[in-house]
C-alpha cells in the first residue's frame, strides 16, 4: 500500500499543474488521434518527444511514472510477446512450432510504442490534475449537451462524489484489513474457497460502513441546501491563460501535421 | 523485563514521492512487561503508526523494533505476533460483522485454534470481565448502542487473552461515563492478569488516572517519556505537543502562582481536594492569607 498508484494526483506546482484542466483535457483529446494516426516512424518520434517534454515539465520524477505504470508494463509485454508469435508473415526465426515473423515484430513493436505514449500522456493528466478539476473540465466540455436536456451538472456531481469516495473506500478497506488481520484472519493462504469465506469479516463491515457514510454525505449535502437542478456558482473559476493557448496551439499543430503527412 | 524495545525507529510513508511524510523519526522507547503506558499526542503525531509496528502490521523504514524478545523484521515472528499482541483500532465497532455478539467475540479465539468449549468459556468470561450481562451474547449487534458496541468490540480482542493490549483512543466519541468505565475495566484486568497495556490518547485526564508512564509524541518525534506525574507536570512541553494538561495540574499551578503551593503535584481533582484539605488542616482556615 506504500506505492503510488495510477491515477493518483501528485502536487508539484509545475507549469503543467498550473494549466487549465480544460486545456489539458482537450490537449489529450488532440494527442490521442495524433498518436493513433501516424504511420511513419518520424511522426511517432515527434509525438513521443513532445510527450516526453511534457513529462519533464510536469515536475514529477520520471521514476514515479515508471513505478505507477509498472503493473501495466507486465500486461503490455505479455501481449507484445503473444503478438510477435502469432502474427503470420515472413518467418525470420523458427523454433519448433514458434515462428517469429517480420510483420509480427514490426506490428507489435509499433503497437507497444503507441500504447506507451498514450499511457504516459494519460499519467501526466492524472498526476497533475485533481479529480475535482477533471470533473469541472468535463462538465464544461459537456455543457453544450445541456441544450439537449442532458443533466450535465448532475452527471458531473455524480462523478465527483464517486471519485470522492475512492480514497474513503481505500482507507476503510485498509483499516478493516489490518483490524481483521490483528484478530488472526489470514487473507493470503488456503484454497480459493477458504479465502472467499474469509472475506466475510472484511466485506460485510466494508459495505455497511460505506453505505452509512453515503447516507451521512447525502444528509450533509441536503443540510447545506443542495438541490438537484438548482443553479450553482463556483469557488474556483477556470480561466484560460497564455500558456493554455500555447499548449492548445502546439497540440493542434501536431495533429494537423500528422493529418497532412497522412494525406500526402 | 522489557517486552517491546524500539531503537531508532523511523517510518516514512511514500518515500521518494511528493507525498512523502516522515511519520516517525528516531524513536527510542521501551515498554516493560505488565505496565500501563499511555502514548499521548495530537492528531498526526504518529501514535497510530508507532503501535502498528508493535504487532507487525508495519515495518520500520529504519531502525529496529523488538517485540517479546525478537525483531519484527523476522517474518515468521511477525506473522504470529497477533496471537500475543491485541490491537484495538479506533472505532473498533466498525469491524463487527456477525449476526450475534457471541459470534463476533468468538472470531479471534477461533482463529487461535481453540476448541469450541474453550472458546465459549473464554467469550463468557471476557464479557463478565468487562461487566456486560451474559444475555448480550445472543443479541444482534445492530440493536446495541454505540457505547455497548464499543465494549463488545474490545471484548473481541480481550477474549484472545493477549499479553500486550494496545488500544487506539478507546473512548473516542463516547460519553465520559462509558469512557471511564472502559478504562477502569482494562486497568483491573491489567492488574489481575499481568497484561501490558498501551493506551493511545490525546486526553491526558485518562492518562493521569490510569497510566503508570506517559510518552508524548509530537510530529513523529518522542518529546518526553517518564512516570505519569513527571510528564504531566511539564505543562510547557505538553502545550508544545498540542495537548492540554489535566485540569488538576493546571489548577495546582495556578494556585502556586497565587501563592498557595500544594505539597505535591495532584493528578486528579480528588487529589486536589485532598491536598487542599491537608493544607487547610496544617495552616489553619486561611492559607497564607492569599485570595483565590
Residue A84 has pLDDT above 90, yes or no: no
Q: Which residue of B has its CA nearest to A68?
A: B17
Average pLDDT of chain A?
A: 86
In a domain, A163, yes or no: yes
pLDDT of residue B149: 92
Give the pLDDT band (50/70/90) at residue A163: confident
**Residues B105, B108, B110, B113, CA torsion sign:** negative
pLDDT at residue B218 in the model: 94
- The answer to whether residue A5 neighbours chain B at the CB level (below 8 Å) is no
Instruction: Determine, yes or no, domain membership for A159.
Output: yes
- Asked if B200 and B243 count as a contact pair (C-beta separation under 8 A), the reply is no
Of A63, A185, A209, the CB nearest to B94: A209
pLDDT given for residue A168 in this prediction:
83
Give the residue from B97, B100, B172 with the most A CB atoms within 10 Å of its CB, the best one to mutate: B97
∠B64-B65-B67 over CA atoms, to 5°?
150
**Quick check: A179 contacting B, CB < 8 Å?**
yes
Q: What are A14-45's pLDDT values in tens digits?
A: 999 999 999 999 999 999 999 998 888 888 99
Whether A6 and A106 share a structural domain? yes
Cβ neighbors of A248 (< 8 A, separation 6 or more) are A23, A26, A27, A30
Q: How far apart are CA B91 and CA A157, in angstroms?
A: 30
A64 to B14: CB separation less than 8 angstroms, yes or no: no
CB pair distance less than 8 Å for A184 and B14: no
Q: Which of B16, B82, B94 sits opposite A183 (nearest CB)?
A: B82
The per-residue pLDDT for range B154-164, each reduced to its tens digit, is 999 999 999 99
Q: Is the pLDDT of residue B200 over 90?
A: yes
- pLDDT of A4 reads 58
**Sheet (strand B213-218) strand order:** B85-88, B164-168, B196-201, B36-40, B213-218, B221-227
- The rounded distance, in Å, linking the Cα atoms of A88 and A106 is 12
Query: Do the chains contact at A183 and B111, CB–CB below 8 Å?
Result: yes
From chain A, the residues in CB contact with B119 under 8 A are none
Q: Do A64 and B92 count as a contact with CB atoms less than 8 A apart?
A: no
Reading the block at residue A131, the C-alpha cell is 479529480
Q: Confidence band (pLDDT; 50, 70, 90) for B275? A: confident
pLDDT of A6 reads 59
B40-75 per-position pLDDT tens digit: 999 889 999 999 999 889 999 999 999 999 999 999
Q: What pLDDT does residue B3 have?
A: 92
Is A175 within 8 Å of B94 when comparing Cβ atoms? yes
Angle at A153 between CA A150 and CA A158, to 5 degrees: 105
Task: Output phi, psi for A203, to 5 deg.
Answer: -70, -40
Domain assignment of residue A61, yes or no: yes
Question: From the CA of A105, how many Å to the nearest CA of chain B?
Answer: 36
pLDDT at A3 (0 to 100): 56
Please say if the pLDDT value at position A7 is more than 70: no
Please state the rounded mean pLDDT for residues B186-195: 91
Nearest to B228 by CA among B257, B191, B268: B268
The per-residue pLDDT for A41 is 86
Least Cα separation, residue B236 to chain A (angstroms): 34
Shared domain for A201 and A106, answered yes or no, is no
Q: Are residues A41 and A102 in the same domain?
A: yes
Contacts of B83 in chain A (CB under 8 A): 184
pLDDT at residue B284, rounded to an integer: 62
For residues A221 and B266, the model is more confident at A221
* DSSP-assigned states of every residue in B113-164: T--HHHHHHHHHHHHHHTT--GGGGGS-GGGS-HHHHHHHHHHHHHTT--SE
Separation between Cα atoms, residue B178 and residue A123, nearest integer Å? 50
Q: Which residue of A has its CA nearest to B16?
A: A64
Q: Kindly list the residues from chain A whose CB atom is less than 8 angstroms away from the CB atom of residue B158.
A: none
* Residue B277 pLDDT class (50, 70, 90 cuts): confident
CA atoms within a 13 Å half-sphere pointing along the CA-CB vector of A198: 19
Q: Which of A5-9, A153-157, B225-229, B286-290 has the lowest average pLDDT? A: B286-290
- Are A69 and A193 part of one and the same domain? no
Cβ separation of B18 and A60 shorter than 8 Å? yes
Mean pLDDT value of segment A58-81: 86
CB pairs under 8 A between A and B: 64
**Could you give the C-alpha distances from A152 to A137, A142, A148, A234, B60, in angstroms and in order?**
12, 7, 10, 15, 48
Q: Is residue A139 situated within a structural domain?
A: no
What is the total count of domains within chain A?
2
Using a CB-CB cut-off of 8 Å, the residues of chain A touching B159 are: none
Q: State residue B288's pLDDT score.
A: 52
Q: Residue B158: CB partners within 8 Å, gap ≥ 6?
A: B86, B126, B129, B130, B165, B189
Chain A residues closer than 8 Å to B126 by CB:
none
pLDDT score recorded for residue B286: 56
pLDDT over 50 at B291, yes or no: no
Q: What is the DSSP string of B24-80?
A: EEEEEEEEETT-EEEEE--TTSSHHHHHHHHTTSS--SEEEEEETTEETTSHHHHHH
Q: What's the pTM value of the predicted model, to 2 decimals?
A: 0.78
Q: Which residue segment(s) compose the domain that A93 sits in?
A: 1-129+239-264
Q: Is residue A234 part of a domain?
A: no
B16 interface with A at CB cutoff 8 Å: yes
Which percentage of chain B shows pLDDT scores above 70? 97
Of the partner residues A181, A184, A200, the one whose CB lies closest to the CB of residue B97: A200
Chain B positions in Cβ-Cβ contact with residue A10 (cut-off 8 Å):
17-19
User: Comparing A106-110, A249-253, B9-13, B33-37, which segment has the lowest mean pLDDT?
Assistant: A106-110
The domain spans of chain B are 246-285
- Gap from A127 CA to chain B (nearest CA, Å): 11
What is the percent of chain B where pLDDT is above 90? 61
Give the pLDDT of residue A1. Answer: 43
| Cβ pair A181:B111 closer than 8 A | no
Which of B16-30, B101-115, B137-151, B265-279 bottoms out in mean pLDDT, i.e. has the lowest? Answer: B265-279
Spatial separation of the C-alpha atoms in residues B58 and A66, rounded to whole Å: 25
Question: Has residue B193 got a pLDDT over 70?
Answer: yes
Amino acid at each position: 500500500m506504500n506505492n503510488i498508484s495510477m491515477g493518483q494526483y501528485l502536487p508539484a506546482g509545475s507549469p503543467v499543474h498550473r494549466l487549465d484542466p480544460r486545456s489539458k483535457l482537450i490537449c489529450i483529446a488532440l494527442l490521442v488521434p495524433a498518436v493513433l494516426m501516424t504511420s511513419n516512424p518520424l511522426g511517432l518520434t515527434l509525438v513521443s518527444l513532445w510527450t516526453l517534454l511534457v513529462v519533464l515539465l510536469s515536475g514529477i520524477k520520471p521514476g514515479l511514472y515508471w513505478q505507477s505504470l509498472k503493473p501495466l508494463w507486465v500486461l503490455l509485454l505479455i501481449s507484445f510477446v503473444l503478438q510477435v508469435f502469432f502474427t503470420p508473415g515472413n518467418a525470420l526465426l523458427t523454433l519448433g512450432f514458434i515462428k517469429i515473423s517480420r510483420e509480427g515484430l514490426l506490428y507489435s513493436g509499433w503497437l507497444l510504442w503507441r500504447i506507451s505514449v498514450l499511457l504516459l500522456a494519460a499519467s501526466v493528466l492524472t498526476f497533475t490534475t485533481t479529480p475535482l478539476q477533471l470533473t469541472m473540465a468535463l462538465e464544461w466540455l459537456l455543457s453544450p449537451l445541456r441544450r439537449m436536456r442532458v443533466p450535465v451538472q448532475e452527471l458531473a456531481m455524480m462523478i465527483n462524489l464517486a471519485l470522492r469516495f475512492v480514497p474513503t473506500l481505500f482507507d476503510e478497506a485498509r483499516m478493516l484489513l489490518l483490524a481483521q488481520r490483528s484478530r488472526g484472519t489470514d487473507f493470503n493462504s488456503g484454497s480459493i474457497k477458504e479465502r472467499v469465506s474469509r472475506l466475510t469479516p472484511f466485506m460485510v463491515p466494508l459495505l455497511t460502513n460505506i453505505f452509512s457514510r453515503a447516507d451521512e454525505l447525502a444528509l450533509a449535502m441536503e443540510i447545506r441546501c443542495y438541490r438537484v437542478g438548482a443553479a450553482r456558482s463556483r469557488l474556483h473559476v477556470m480561466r484560460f491563460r497564455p500558456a493554455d493557448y500555447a499548449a492548445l496551439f502546439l497540440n493542434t499543430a501536431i495533429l494537423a501535421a500528422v493529418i497532412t503527412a497522412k494525406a500526402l | 523485563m522489557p517486552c517491546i524495545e524500539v531503537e531508532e525507529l523511523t517510518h516514512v510513508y511514500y518515500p521518494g514521492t511528493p507525498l512523502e511524510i516522515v511519520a516517525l523519526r528516531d524513536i527510542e522507547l521501551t515498554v516493560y512487561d505488565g505496565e500501563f503506558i499511555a502514548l499521548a499526542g495530537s492528531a498526526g503525531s504518529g501514535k497510530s503508526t508507532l503501535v502498528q509496528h508493535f504487532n507487525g502490521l508495519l515495518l520500520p523504514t529504519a531502525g529496529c523494533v523488538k517485540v517479546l524478545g525478537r525483531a519484527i523484521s523476522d517474518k515468521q515472528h511477525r506473522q504470529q505476533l497477533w496471537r500475543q499482541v491485541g490491537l484495538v483500532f479506533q472505532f473498533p465497532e466498525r469491524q463487527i460483522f456477525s449476526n450475534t455478539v457471541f459470534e463476533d467475540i468468538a472470531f479471534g479465539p477461533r482463529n487461535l485454534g481453540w476448541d469450541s468449549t474453550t472458546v465459549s468459556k473464554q467469550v463468557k468470561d471476557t464479557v463478565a470481565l468487562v461487566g456486560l450481562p451474559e444475555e448480550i451474547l445472543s443479541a444482534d449487534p445492530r440493536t446495541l448502542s454505540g457505547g455497548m458496541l464499543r465494549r463488545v468490540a474490545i471484548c473481541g480482542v480481550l477474549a484472545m487473552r493477549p499479553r500486550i493490549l494496545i488500544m487506539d483512543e478507546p473512548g473516542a466519541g463516547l460519553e465520559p461515563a462509558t469512557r471511564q468505565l472502559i478504562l477502569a475495566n482494562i486497568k483491573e484486568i491489567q492488574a489481575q492478569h499481568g497484561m501490558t497495556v498501551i493506551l493511545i490518547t490525546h486526553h491526558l485526564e485518562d492518562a493521569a488516572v490510569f497510566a503508570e508512564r506517559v510518552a508524548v509524541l509530537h510530529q513523529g518525534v518522542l518529546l518526553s517519556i517518564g512516570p505519569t506525574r513527571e510528564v504531566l507536570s511539564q505543562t510547557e512541553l505538553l502545550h508544545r505537543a498540542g495537548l492540554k494538561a489535566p485540569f488538576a495540574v493546571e489548577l495546582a499551578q495556578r494556585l502556586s502562582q497565587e501563592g498557595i503551593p500544594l505539597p505535591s503535584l495532584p493528578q486528579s481533582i480528588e487529589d486536589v481536594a485532598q491536598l487542599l484539605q491537608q493544607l487547610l488542616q496544617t495552616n489553619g482556615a486561611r492559607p497564607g492569607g492569599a485570595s483565590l
